[in-house]
Amino acid sequence: MIYAGLDLGGTKCAALLARVDGDHISFLCRKEVKTYGAWREVVNPLLDYIKTEAAAQNVTPLACGISCGGPLDSRKGVILSPPNLMSFKNAAITDYVSDSLGIPAKLQNDADACALAEWRFGAGRGTRNMIFLTFGTGLGAGLILDGHLYVGAKNLAGEVGHTRLERTGPIGYRKAGSFEGFCSGGGIAQLIQMRTGETYDAKELFQRAERGDAQAIDIWTEIGRQFGRGLAMLVDILNPEIIVAGSIFTRAYKYLYDPAMDSLEQEALPESLNGFRLLPAQLGDQIGDYAAIAIASSID
């Protein structure tokens, strides 16, 4: 089955076609453009590309999935006011894409879309209860519960970054000491400055740890312990089989996993941890492409 996808990001947007066979994806083509200008100016060349490539390869996509940062209304198919995509404010993207391509289209926020992708094609294959955590620029969750994506009454389920872990600490999601404050790129940069008085980012922190810098390793350990505290709440409340975390967790896995698991084992119910696994995302830098196709292939 052939599907189209759009991955809309603050820096770049991509269009693609892919063939899906069970839990395997073969990508047929991909085009990337910079996110610049009014939203139609960004999207139109991508839609033209999908139509041109579909004709050239003599394929007809069944549907188009659209992955985008929130806030958005997935049921109405409207992008509301994502801070990194201001030109897309109140964009009725689903109807626009569907009308242009002549096929059904569906919009999903990027955390939910990545959860679908890892569940269908990555680390979560074969599970029925899985949580995906972005752990990148921000911290959001996609929830697969009893074999279905759960989005909540207002499409806001999974905003775990807003949860407070400490009374004070780095600010994330407009809240000091929040889960996102300790476990996101921006929050980690704040934590580095708090602990060292220096200004650098998570990438540099990893490089320093790799050089054997004890202070850098200590900061990663602190991040890992706070990550485990946040995980414990999710494990106790939702009882997932696995939690899959991407981006920074995947790259700094060697420094984060052990302190996270130590903290998790101290905080969570032992019964909930029986058989539980914490895994790095498998789909890597291509997860946005997988996510868009996962949305398309989930359309009823």
Structure-token pair, residue 272:
């909930």
Determine the pLDDT at residue 137.
82
Establish whether domains 2-110+285-297 and 125-282 are of one fold. Answer: yes
Domains of the chain, residue spans: 2-110+285-297, 125-282
Structure-token pair, residue 186:
């921006």
Determine the pLDDT at residue 285.
82
- For the ranges 81-85, 94-98, 284-288, the lowest mean pLDDT is seen at 81-85
> Looking at the predicted structure, is the pLDDT value of residue 82 above 80?
no
> Looking at the predicted structure, is the pLDDT value of residue 92 above 90?
yes
Number of C-beta neighbours around residue 208 at 10 A: 20
Determine the pLDDT at residue 216.
98
Q: Which CATH architecture has domain 125-282?
A: 2-Layer Sandwich (3.30)
Determine the pLDDT at residue 163.
93
pTM beyond 0.85, yes or no: yes
> Looking at the predicted structure, is the pLDDT value of residue 63 above 80?
yes
- 251-280, pLDDT tens digit by residue? 999 999 999 999 999 999 999 999 999 999
Confidence of residue 113 (pLDDT cuts 50, 70, 90): very high
> Looking at the predicted structure, is the pLDDT value of residue 128 above 90?
yes
Determine the pLDDT at residue 70.
78
Mean pLDDT taken over the chain? 94
> Looking at the predicted structure, is the pLDDT value of residue 300 above 90?
no
> Looking at the predicted structure, is the pLDDT value of residue 45 above 90?
yes
DSSP state of 11: S
> Looking at the predicted structure, is the pLDDT value of residue 84 above 80?
no
Burial label, 237 (beta-carbon count in 10 A; 0-12, 13-18, 19+): exposed
- For the ranges 29-38, 80-89, 176-185, 268-277, the lowest mean pLDDT is seen at 80-89
CATH number of the 2-110+285-297 domain: 3.30.420.40
> Looking at the predicted structure, is the pLDDT value of residue 206 above 90?
yes
List the alpha helices (DSSP H) in the chain. Answer: 39-56, 93-101, 110-121, 179-182, 185-196, 202-210, 214-238, 248-251, 253-267, 270-273, 287-297
Strand order in the sheet with 148-150: 148-150, 141-145, 130-133, 242-245, 277-280
Task: Give Cβ neighbours of residue 32 (< 8 Å, ≥ 6 apart).
Answer: 12, 13, 14
Determine the pLDDT at residue 153.
85
Q: φ, ψ for residue 138 (rounded to 5)?
A: -130, -170
Burial label, 60 (beta-carbon count in 10 A; 0-12, 13-18, 19+): exposed
Determine the pLDDT at residue 174.
86
